[in-house]
Amino acid sequence: MALGLVWLVAALVVVAVALGAWVRMQGRLALRAAAARPLAPGESPRLVSLVRGLAGDLGLGMPQLWVFEAGGPNAFVCYSSGPCVAVSPAVLESFSRTELEAVVAHCLVRVAGRRLRRQQLAIALGRTDHAGAHIKDEDVAAANLTRYPPALAGALRKCEPQRGRFSPLYLVGEASGHPVAEERAAELLDL
C-alpha cells in the first residue's frame, strides 16, 4: 500500500512538472508563431522609454521587448523566461505617441495581473474560449494608467484582429469570448 502511494505521488509530480513546462512553453510558441524577434539595442527608443516609464508606474521590472512581423497592427503579451511585450512594426510606425502609450499600458496591465498566466494555461490545455473574458477590465485599467481613454479606443480600432490558437494573448484577438474591438472602443469613450 505504501509503495503504491509513493508511485502515485511520483506520477503526480511528473505530470505537474510536465504541465508546468508545457504552460511555460506557450510563450515561446506564441513568439515563434508570430515570427517575433527581440528588439535590437537602440531600436525604437520611444517604445523603450514608454515601457520603462509605465512599468515603473506599475511597480514592474522591464519586460522583454519583441517585434513581430506576422499580421497587421497589433500587440501581445506572454511569459517566456519572463514577461514579454511584443508589438508589430505597424504599431511602431503608424500609431500616434498616445496610441502607442495606450497599447503599452494595456500590455503592462496584463503582465501585472494574474490572468495572463491563466490564459497561457488555458491555451496549453486547448481552451481559448474564455481566455479574454476580463479584457474590458484591463482596458479600463490601461485607460486609468494613461488618463486618456480615446488613445486606447483609437488603437483598438486600428488593430487587425489576430486569429488562431494564441489570439487570447493579443490586444485585439478573435477568440471566442474575446470582446470585439469596436465594442471595447465605444465603452472606453464612455469613460
**Structural domains in the chain plus CATH codes:** 2-189 (3.30.2010.10)
Using one digit for the tens of pLDDT, what is the confidence trace for 132-183? 557 889 999 999 999 999 999 999 999 999 988 898 899 998 876 677 899 9
Using one digit for the tens of pLDDT, what is the confidence trace for 71-119? 899 999 999 889 999 999 999 999 999 999 999 999 999 999 878 888 8
Using one digit for the tens of pLDDT, what is the confidence trace for 82-91? 999 999 999 9
Q: 0.85 cut: is pTM over it?
A: yes
Length of the chain: 191
Report DSSP letters for 121-150, one per residue: HHHHTT--SSTTTTHHHHHHHHHHHHT-HH
Query: What distances in angstroms separate CA 118 from CA 13, 48, 53, one per listed residue?
Result: 20, 27, 26
